[in-house]
Amino acid sequence: MPITWLASYPKSGNTWLRFLLANLLAGGPPESSLDVSRRIPDIHRPDDPYDPPDDGREFIKTHFMRSESHPRLAETARVVHVVRHPRDVLLSALNYRRMEGVIEPLSDAQYTEMFIRNSGDALWARLGYGTWIQHAASWAQATAWPVLTIKYEDLKADTAAVLRRVLAFVEVDVGENEIERAVKQSTFDNLRALEIRERTASAKTLFPGSARDTKARRFFFNKGATGQSLDPIKPGLDRAFEARFRPALDMLGYA
């Protein structure tokens, strides 16, 4: 069965894109986060419910970098590659890691310095995601299949326009009314409300976190911010970040 990969480094907008596409593929908004997995599974969550599509085309989320060890790579038909400026990825990852409770011994500055030094989250690298730099290059420069690279910043600025590009690329034909509906139903406010409902109900969910995180205003769908700065954490971090990431940012067209 040919696969369309939704490939991204973590905290780059992959889940948001899944909600948008699942809404259109299912003909309406998901009633729960796991409804998204039923239509577009996450390769890292094999136990989630999944209903294989009748048309024989699979859409699957992956955070793995492209490599010979990537599962089912030989079944690839095309790739939608989602990238986000790594400064914003870093800050979103900091919130996410706090929510997971895996970086409690580290201060915000220590985690940020670690991310810059390793060009990404060192724990994610050990899971096969690579550094942010390795991950971005592995998919953006792939030539074995068609690859559409989209930027999170563009998706946020004009969600409908980028979604139209994605739909044309994956050869899914839907009308403008359906696109507008999916965009409205997949706003950050609506997705965060779903996240809070599922936390409150203690239901099985795609989202990590607990009621304590809700009280602390920590969410999977957090700020969705762009163009942020690291210097408020510690002066000089933006300069160190630029020195590490600038060549990769230039490759992807980030000014």
- pLDDT for position 1: 73
Residue 180 CA to residue 12 CA, distance in Å, equals 22
pTM recorded for the entire structure: 0.91
Architecture of domain 3-251: 3-Layer(aba) Sandwich (3.40)
- pLDDT for position 28: 78
HSE of 144, CA atoms in CB hemisphere, 13 A: 11
- pLDDT for position 148: 98
Residue 84 CA to residue 152 CA, distance in Å, equals 5
Between vectors from CA 146 to CA 181 and to CA 44, what angle results, nearest 5°? 70
- Cβ–Cβ under 8 Å, residues 153 and 63: no
pLDDT of residue 221 exceeding 70: no
- pLDDT for position 27: 79
Residue 186 CA to residue 240 CA, distance in Å, equals 35
pLDDT in tens, 15-45: 999 999 999 988 778 888 888 999 999 999 9
**Which is higher by pLDDT, 98 or 245?**
245
pLDDT of residue 2 exceeding 70: yes
**Which is higher by pLDDT, 244 or 46?**
244
pLDDT in tens, 128-139: 999 999 999 999
- pLDDT for position 155: 96
pLDDT of residue 210 exceeding 70: no
Q: Where are the domains of the chain?
A: 3-251
